[in-house]
Structure 1
């Protein structure tokens, strides 16, 4: 059967041939073109998926590291605050120790000075007593008109005189 129109003609054998050629081309494309292309597309999908998974894992790792860093930073701040606090406490204790030592030294100096003053006062008093004793003996000798001869008598008169002076103070 052959249909003939003025401007074209249709032959069933040509239609069947074109259909068979199209089917063969489709099967060949499917076997040699679509399968490899689909394989490449699947590989790309897997690669993109793996890249996204790696990116998500890296992001999670970065978040974990950030959290860990923040914790370590916080711990370091606390530790530095403790170190400063301990150093301040140690400095205060050393300062108190130095002040106490200085007070002890000052107290020792004052005590020694007081002892020196007391010793000098006693020495001066004893020296004055000795001078007064000599004067008293001379005056007593002149008043009595005689010189005190015995040492015992001289000692007794001196002791009486000194005893009288000590009572006046």
Structure 2
């Protein structure tokens, strides 16, 4: 029995092989294909996520570049605005200085004119005082009253002789 069972075909072995083959086909149909399909879909999904990540990274780099360009442009524009404001301030400063100089010149002219008027007024007052003193001295010396035409003549002579030259110091 030993030899025959060992070499002989046993239907149970064939049946087990056939069952294993059928099980393999069923598992292939029901399990391997869906798993393979699931794995392929998962691979496609992963690749899609990586592609989207690459696209997002590329877009972020583009946006960063644009942002940096805009910042540089804004800095340049700000510098230009500051330069323009400085120029306008400098021009306005020069205008104010010119106006102040004109005002100072006008005030100096006015003061000079006022000084000249006051000087003339003082000279006239001194001339009047001198003429009064001269009249008093003359009347005391002469011991008589001088009439007004003599008085005017004496004053004019005195002013012409003493006059403006001695008061122009």
Compute the TM-score of the two structures, normalised by the length of structure 2.
0.78
TM-fit CA distance, 1:130: 1.1
TM-fit CA distance, 1:12: 6.7
1:130-149 → structure 2 map (5 Å cutoff): 130-141=128-139, 146-149=144-147
Change in 2 beyond 3 A, CA 1:167/1:96 = closer
Q: Aligned residue for 2:160?
A: 163
Higher mean displacement: 9-18 or 58-67: 9-18
TM-fit CA distance, 1:21: 2.8
Higher helix share: 2
Higher relative contact order (CA 8 A, sep 6+): 2
Counterparts of 2:165 and 2:81 in 1: how far apart (Å)? Answer: 68
Change in 2 beyond 3 A, CA 1:91/1:167 = closer
Counterparts of 2:26 and 2:59 in 1: how far apart (Å)? Answer: 48
1:1-169 → structure 2 map (5 Å cutoff): 5=3, 8-11=6-9, 13=11, 16-141=14-139, 146-149=144-147, 151-166=148-163, 168-169=165-166
Q: Which runs of 5+ in 2 are unaligned?
A: none
Higher mean displacement: 116-125 or 18-27: 18-27
Counterparts of 1:167 and 1:116 in 2: how far apart (Å)? Answer: 19
4+ residue runs over 6 A deviation: none
Q: Which runs of 5+ in 1 are unaligned?
A: none
Q: Which digits, 9 at most, give the CA deviation of each residue in 1:96-123, with x for residues without a partner?
A: 3443343334333333332222222111
CA RMSD in angstroms, aligned pairs only: 2.9
